[in-house]
Amino acid sequence: MTRRKIALAGIGKIATDQHIPTLASSPDWELAAAVSRHGRVEGVPNFTDMDEMLAAHPEVGTVSLCMPPVPRFAYAEAALKAGRNVMLEKPPGATLSEVHALENLAREAGVVLYATWHSREAAFVAPAAAWLKGRRLKRFTVTWKEDVRKWHPGQDWVFEPGGMGVFDPGINALSIVTAILPDPIHVTRATLEMPENRQTPIAATLAFHHPQGAEVTATMDWDHSGDDVWRIEAVTDGGTMTLDRGGAEMRIDGSVQSAGDGLHGEYPRLYAQMARLVEDGRSDVDLSPARHVWDAMTLGRRKIVAPFHW
């Protein structure tokens, strides 16, 4: 099978750690070009300007965007207007409105737009959704704690407007929540801990309305020391299910199932899905995780906390 040519834009940590290795072993995609102001990919043509790359490589039918959300819209807009399919790293944009605008552009151009949520591709997300279906939820607790210094070392953009702060990892949890809960929920209360020298929260607590009256809460912390905690617990009338390690492990009433590859299969599954979408000529733009973030930022009570320094 002939592999489709794809370009990668935004050569930073996530591209280096996940996208480039995934594309190197993909049966569906051939990395044909890269666009970045600072990074490079060995073995392919490298550009610092998206328009220049698009003009130089008409054979590249798809562009995968990995830069931070604030500058991403302009790159996506250029690619869509040039008739290329676009794959968006999470979160899909700095605002909901700009993603809706991209969705309209893709429709007008007759190309595919894919807003990816890599945590939904963890091994036990789909089994968790199947287990919850038909059970009455009593309590649902999200605990998402990690160290920003480990995952975004020195990247000040995460604390600037549009960077989302703790919701940069927290939206991963919300992407799983919106994939596995049978009933829709919405944010009712939030507390956002704002370092006095930063523009976005470093920690957050959220409460949600559940249509059947279940207690649904989330606690997120980006200044956590020790091992990462990526856990979702659901207490139901038919037992307790816990997703741990970001969905790489599932426990049901003490019985443990664990994925041998941890989270390493997430990005290969994303790119396989992108190949299917392109084959079908179908876009996939689900903004439900982002809506929870935007609602929390709107409703959230700001609590000023100590300055954050790298």
Integer CA distances (angstroms), 5 to 62, 88, 182, 213, 305, in order:
7, 16, 37, 49, 47
User: Where is pLDDT greater, at 2 or 51?
Assistant: 51
Whether 276 maps to a domain, the answer reads no
pLDDT for the residue 258: 87
Among residues 5, 13, 81, 90, the one annotated as catalytic is 90
For residue 21, the enclosing domain spans 4-115
290 touches 298 (CB < 8 A): no
Whether 136 maps to a domain, the answer reads yes
Whether 46 maps to a domain, the answer reads yes
∠ CA 202-9-169, nearest 5°, is 20
The CATH number given to whatever domain includes residue 47 is 3.40.50.720
Clarify whether residues 82 and 136 are in a common domain.
no
Clarify whether residues 110 and 137 are in a common domain.
no
Rounded-to-integer distance, Cα 146 and Cα 122, Å? 18
Clarify whether residues 108 and 207 are in a common domain.
no
Rounded-to-integer distance, Cα 292 and Cα 87, Å? 22
Domain end: 100, 115, 130, which one?
A: 115
Clarify whether residues 141 and 183 are in a common domain.
yes
Rounded-to-integer distance, Cα 261 and Cα 273, Å? 19
Rounded-to-integer distance, Cα 161 and Cα 176, Å? 25
pLDDT for the residue 259: 80
pLDDT for the residue 214: 98
Average pLDDT, the chain: 96
Alpha carbons within 13 angstroms on the beta-carbon side of residue 188 total 10
Whether 289 maps to a domain, the answer reads no
pLDDT for the residue 165: 98
Rounded-to-integer distance, Cα 290 and Cα 202, Å? 17
Clarify whether residues 157 and 300 are in a common domain.
yes
Clarify whether residues 129 and 248 are in a common domain.
yes
Whether 107 maps to a domain, the answer reads yes
pLDDT for the residue 280: 98
pLDDT for the residue 262: 64
The CATH number given to whatever domain includes residue 227 is 3.30.360.10
Clarify whether residues 142 and 234 are in a common domain.
yes
Mean pLDDT of 187-203: 98
To the query of whether residue 145 is one of the catalytic residues in this protein, the response is no
Mean pLDDT of 189-195: 98
Clarify whether residues 50 and 182 are in a common domain.
no
pLDDT for the residue 261: 67
∠ CA 242-122-94, nearest 5°, is 105
pLDDT, one tens digit per residue, over 233-287 is 999 999 999 999 999 999 999 899 888 766 679 999 999 999 999 999 999 999 9
3-state helix, strand, coil in the chain (%, to 5): 35, 30, 35
Q: Which residue has the tokens 């099978």?
A: 1
Q: Which residue has the tokens 């279906």?
A: 133
Clarify whether residues 156 and 300 are in a common domain.
yes
Mean pLDDT of 60-86: 97
Alpha carbons within 13 angstroms on the beta-carbon side of residue 106 total 27
User: In terms of DSSP bridges, do strands 62-65 and 203-209 run parallel, antiparallel, or are they unpaired?
Assistant: unpaired
Domain end: 115, 141, 159, which one?
A: 115
Clarify whether residues 244 and 139 are in a common domain.
yes
Whether 83 maps to a domain, the answer reads yes
Domain end: 90, 115, 140, which one?
A: 115
> Is 41 in a helix, a strand, or coil?
coil
pLDDT for the residue 264: 78
Whether 49 maps to a domain, the answer reads yes
pLDDT, one tens digit per residue, over 75-104 is 999 999 999 999 999 999 999 999 999 999
Clarify whether residues 164 and 299 are in a common domain.
yes
Whether 219 maps to a domain, the answer reads yes
Q: Edge-to-edge strand order for the sheet containing 85-88? A: 46-47, 29-35, 4-9, 62-65, 85-88, 113-115
Q: How many domains does the chain have?
A: 2
Clarify whether residues 77 and 211 are in a common domain.
no
